[in-house]
Amino acid sequence: MIQFSDFEKKTKIVFKDKDLLKQAFIHRSYINENGATGLSHNERLEFLGDAVLELIVTDFLYKKYPKHTEGELTALRSALVNAIIISEIASKIGMNEFLLLSRGETKDTGKARQYILANTYEAYVGAVYLDQGYDVANSFITKSLLPKTEEIVAKKLWRDAKSLVQEKAQEFVNFTPAYKVLSESGPDHDKHFNIGIFFGPDLIAEGKGKSKQEAEQKAAEAALKIKNWLD
């Protein structure tokens, strides 16, 4: 039996509405198997939390980097709030132990779990915002996610991989990269794309994601590594 009071102890955020806390961890698949819980899945909370997260991260970056351009700040924000980084943070604070999933989803610990964790983090932010207010949500994000900023800046992870690979490809091989969908799977609400990056007729690398844009970024990142174009 999952005790959400244990998660409250971890985060030191004690909810007034315990159902709201639980809802943040309920995946759609769990409701399909346990419809009589009286609660709904976390997708509405995720929608809200995504907006709260974006505002808090944007405000932080705007103040921390006064000389950065709008484009640089956008790239930095994208690097901070991407699913891989957020899922790492969610794992680090123990969210994985509290997920309410279907039996099938419980067995899948690969990429799909990464996205579930990232979405749960956002849903939890939305729940904190509703139950505790903006300041507590801000404090939670500041402690859990924003310390990653220094690493992202130091390793230049904020650079847009698609722009960089285009620049390098034109410089070194005189090609403009092209992206093609190699395969797609899943229902409309949960699509997964596998996209290849090509220099002329040659497939250089592949990338997978829940959107074409994300898969293209992953393919571009993979191509940069394969070509050893990351400085």
**Residues contacting residue 40 through CB under 8 Å, at least 6 positions apart:** 23, 26, 31
In whole angstroms, what is the distance from residue 193 CA to residue 206 CA? 10
Kindly name the residue from 50, 131, 214, 221 that is annotated as catalytic. Answer: 50
Active site annotation includes 122: yes
Asked whether the beta carbons of 77 and 155 are under 8 A apart, the reply is no
Tokens representing 184 are 């797609």
Cα–Cα distances in angstroms (integers) from residue 145 to residues 35, 86, 202, in the given order: 33, 7, 38
Which neighbouring-strand residues pair with 184? 193
Which residue blocks in 67-211 are alpha helix, DSSP H? 70-80, 83-92, 103-107, 111-132, 134-144, 148-154, 161-172
Alpha carbons 153 and 124: distance in angstroms, whole number: 26
- C-alpha 222: how far from chain center: 18
What's the CA gap between 167 and 144, in Å, rounded? 34
Tokens read off for 129: 């915002």
Choice among 122, 131, 214, 221 that is catalytic: 122
Tokens of 73: 């700040």
44: which 2 tokens? Answer: 């509405």
Residue pair 225/166 in contact by the 8 Å Cβ criterion: no
Catalytic center residues: 50, 122
